[in-house]
Amino acid sequence: MADYKLLINGALVDGDAEMDVINPANEELVAKCPRASRAQLDAAVAAAQAAFPAWRAMPIAERKAKLTAIADIVQANAQELGRILTQEQGKPIGDAVGEAFGASAFFRYFTMLDLPVKVIDDSPNRKVEAHRRPLGVVGAIVPWNFPLILMAFKVPAALLAGNTMVLKPAPTTPLSTLKFAELIKDVLPPGVLNVIADGGELGAEMTAHPGIRKISYTGSTATGKRVMAGAADALKRITLELGGNDASIVLPGSDPKAVAPKIFAGAFQNSGQVCIAIKRAYVHDSIYDAMCEELATLAQNAVVGDGLQQGTQLGPIQNKTQFERVMGLIESAKKDGKIIAGGERLGDKGYFIKPTIVRDITDGARLVDEEQFGPVLPVIRYTDPEDALARANRSEYGLGGSIWSSDLEQAYDLATRMESGTVWVNKHAELAPNIPFGGAKASGIGVELGEEGLAEFTQLQVINVAR
């Protein structure tokens, strides 16, 4: 069994305690994981504080070289990282290795950005410049659905900007992140990046920690609210990428055979455990029956199993708590609609759920109104696109959404009025490191990725000089 360590001040160290990491495909032990104490969190923050002055002063070209080295190491070790990720998270091995390659690409992207001084005014009487300064120590808290790629939403941008960091993965998926730390520990000066793991108790401690100047958190809206409250006393900077209940609106005239596979992929990637997965599909009455039939066939034919097995398309739910929640939503859906595919657990070992399609369900049902975060899709009938848009916008969430139509003008018009941070047309859940990503309403505050995401890890300083 592999031996995992925390990374604090450039050294690989044991935790003050241990915890088990369970494989969701078989409910067996993957590894013992070090569990950091509050004292070790304090040591990690202190190390990051001590490393900050020199890292901030390092020329940005040298910081970029460090990020490039990290990208190279992650790329070279993508197979190993992917295998660890599949064992702790459950996703198919091809997806897990792809996630590792994606993390490498995100690190590489940020090496192409700069933080130039912007001249606002250069007149005879004054010169005004806008500078982007690092904040200090950044705390990054990453969820269990995409441990590596969501880490790479945060770490390269924060480090490029000149910050130092304390990174904490989710309690149920710490191993791939700890392996990442082990692989890159000698690239960065001691203390620049510290990686700890916990059983869930240190997130609040990080949020309120006086030595941390910003928290970048990805996870549930409920926890995001606690992060915001915990950061309030110190007016700590925050970026929150939270839950979503993404709606897809399929307009009349769409071809169900062409659109259904894309809707299915957008809803069931990573067994639906994606913040921007399609969580509700509004389908026009004229094509409703045909779309339901196509989606049901896709669900019935999907290969569900252990992510390490060849041919697996969908893995298990990542943890028991989420598995039980999704099964509860399915039970509610049996009363609120008609299940035409799936609707039950697969096997008696592991957290597997058959891909589930629910028709003849509508707004007000738990499965429609709540974020399921699992392999269950409600398909909702509508007759008026304006009504579908109003129903989509009625949600407290606003992370993403999509419009599907052969009439791009109509689709674009609806997209401009959908209350979401990102709206796709004739696709869903496409992300790229150069495209800013953030949520509206209860789906978050701030953005990640792109130049805008880099700016979130900085303090704007204006220098105004009289002449």
The catalytic site residues sit at 241, 275
Helix (H) or strand (E) holding 83: helix 78-89
Amino acid identity for residue 391 in this structure? R
Closest CA to 397 of 186, 245, 204, 172: 245
Burial of 67 (0-12, 13-18, 19+ CB in 10 A): buried
Total Cβ atoms within 10 A of residue 195 = 28
Segments of 39-88 assigned E as strands: none
Closest CA to 33 of 81, 84, 78, 80: 84
CB 452 within 8 A of CB 209: no
CB 20 within 8 A of CB 33: yes
Strand order in the sheet with 400-404: 338-341, 356-359, 376-382, 278-284, 246-250, 400-404, 422-425
DSSP H helix total and E strand total for the chain: 15, 22
DSSP labels, 191-244: TSEEE---SSSHHHHHHH-TT--EEEEES-HHHHHHHHHHHHTTT-EEEEE---
* Cα–Cα–Cα angle for 167, 169, 171, rounded to 5 degrees: 140
Helix (H) or strand (E) holding 389: helix 385-393
